[in-house]
Structure 1
Amino acid sequence: MTFRKNKNQDPSIIVHSLKSLIQEISDWRNLFRTEWPMLLLLIGGITILLFASEPFPPRNIYLAVGQEGSSFEQLGKKFKPYFADEGITLNLVNTSGYTASMQAISSPESTLNAAFSLAGIAPKGRYPNLQTLGSIEYVPLWLFHRGIKLDTSTVMTAFKNEKIAIGPEGSGTDILSSRLLSLTELNADDNPNFLHLSNLEATDKLINGEIFGMFIADAENSPSLKKLLKQDDLKIFNFEYAQAISKKMPILSPVVLPKGSLDLRHQRPAQDINMLATTATLIIKKDTHPAIQHIFMSAAERISRDLDPLFSNPDFFPVYLDHNLPLSPIASRYYDKGAPALEGKMPLWVVSYLDKIWLLLVGAFAVIFPLFKLFPNYRHTRAILLISNAYEDLLQIEREAQETTESQKLLTLLERLQEVNLDTLKISIPADEMNRLYSFRGSLNTVRQLIANKIKENEK
Structure 2
Amino acid sequence: MPQVFRNSLLSLRDMIVSAGPLALLPVLLLALAYWWLQPTPPKTVVLATGPAQSAYEAFGKRYQQALAAEGIAVHLLPSEGSLANLQLLREGRADLAFVQGGTAVLQPEDHEQLRSLGSLFVEPLWLFYREKAARRVAPSGRLDALPQLQGLHVNVGTEGSGVPTLMDKLLDANHLDAKALQLSRLEQTPATVAFLAGDIDVLVFASAPESPMVQMLLQTPGVRLMDFAQHEAYGRRFPFLTPVTLPRGVVDLAGNVPAADVRLVASTTALLAREGTHPALLQLFAQSAQGLHGGAGWFNRAREFPSTRHNELTIAPEADRAINEPVPLLQRYLPFWLA
Q: Which category describes the TM-score, using the shorter chain as reference length? A: 0.7 to 0.9
Q: Is 1:253–2:245 an aligned residue pair?
A: no
In structure 1, list runs of 5 or more residues that go unmatched.
1-27, 352-460
Tell me the CA shift for residue 203 of structure 1: 1.4
- 1:339 pairs, out of 320, 327, 338, with 327
Name the structure, 1 or 2, with higher relative contact order (CA <8 Å, separation 6+): 2
Indicate the structure (1 or 2) with the bigger Cα radius of gyration: 1
Task: Tell me what 1:198 maps to.
Answer: 187
TM-score calculated relative to the size of structure 2 = 0.87
Q: Is 1:330–2:281 an aligned residue pair?
A: no
The alpha-carbon distance between structure 1 residues 97 and 219, as it changes in their structure 2 partners (threshold 3 A), is same
Task: Tell me what 2:27 maps to.
Answer: 43
Q: Number of residue pairs matched? A: 319
Alignment map for 1:119-134 (pairs within 5 Å): 119-124=101-106, 125-127=108-110, 128-134=112-118
Task: Tell me what 2:155 maps to.
Answer: 165
Which deviates further from its counterpart, 296-305 or 140-149? 140-149
The alpha-carbon distance between structure 1 residues 55 and 30, as it changes in their structure 2 partners (threshold 3 A), is farther
The alpha-carbon distance between structure 1 residues 42 and 215, as it changes in their structure 2 partners (threshold 3 A), is same
Check whether the contact 1:123–1:324 (CA below 8 A) recurs between aligned residues: no
Task: Tell me what 2:170 maps to.
Answer: 180
- 2:292 pairs, out of 292, 303, 309, with 303
Check whether the contact 2:129–2:201 (CA below 8 A) recurs between aligned residues: yes
Task: Tell me what 1:117 maps to.
Answer: 99
Tell me the CA shift for residue 204 of structure 1: 1.3
Check whether the contact 1:82–1:295 (CA below 8 A) recurs between aligned residues: no
Check whether the contact 2:279–2:318 (CA below 8 A) recurs between aligned residues: yes
Task: Tell me what 1:91 maps to.
Answer: 75
Task: Tell me what 1:143 maps to.
Answer: 127
Amino acid at match of 2:298: L
Instruction: State the alpha-carbon separation in 2 of the partners of residues 303 and 55 from structure 1.
Output: 26
Task: Tell me what 1:80 maps to.
Answer: 64
- 1:60 pairs, out of 44, 64, 73, with 44
Check whether the contact 2:246–2:299 (CA below 8 A) recurs between aligned residues: yes
Check whether the contact 1:149–1:235 (CA below 8 A) recurs between aligned residues: no
Which deviates further from its counterpart, 64-73 or 172-181? 172-181
Secondary structure, in 3 states, of the residue corresponding to 2:260? coil
Amino acid at match of 1:343: Q
The alpha-carbon distance between structure 1 residues 117 and 29, as it changes in their structure 2 partners (threshold 3 A), is farther
Secondary structure, in 3 states, of the residue corresponding to 1:343? helix
Tell me the CA shift for residue 210 of structure 1: 1.1
Tell me the CA shift for residue 206 of structure 1: 1.6
Tell me the CA shift for residue 199 of structure 1: 1.3
Tell me the CA shift for residue 98 of structure 1: 2.3
Instruction: State the alpha-carbon separation in 1 of the partners of residues 333 and 23 from structure 2.
Output: 32
Secondary structure, in 3 states, of the residue corresponding to 1:349? coil
Instruction: Give CA deviations for 1:17-76 in whole Å, capped at 9, x if unaligned.
Output: xxxxxxxxxxx9997676322211111111211221111211211111021211000000
Instruction: State the alpha-carbon separation in 1 of the partners of residues 40 and 296 from structure 2.
Output: 35
Alignment map for 1:255-274 (pairs within 5 Å): 255-274=244-263
TM-score calculated relative to the size of structure 1 = 0.65
Instruction: State the alpha-carbon separation in 1 of the partners of residues 247 and 45 from structure 2.
Output: 38
The alpha-carbon distance between structure 1 residues 30 and 312, as it changes in their structure 2 partners (threshold 3 A), is farther
Instruction: State the alpha-carbon separation in 1 of the partners of residues 116 and 182 from structure 2.
Output: 36
In structure 2, list runs of 5 or more residues that go unmatched.
1-11, 132-139
Task: Tell me what 1:71 maps to.
Answer: 55
Instruction: State the alpha-carbon separation in 2 of the partners of residues 31 and 259 from structure 1.
Output: 84
Which deviates further from its counterpart, 288-297 or 338-347? 338-347
Task: Tell me what 2:279 maps to.
Answer: 290
- 2:84 pairs, out of 87, 100, 106, with 100
Check whether the contact 2:290–2:323 (CA below 8 A) recurs between aligned residues: no
Secondary structure, in 3 states, of the residue corresponding to 1:175? helix
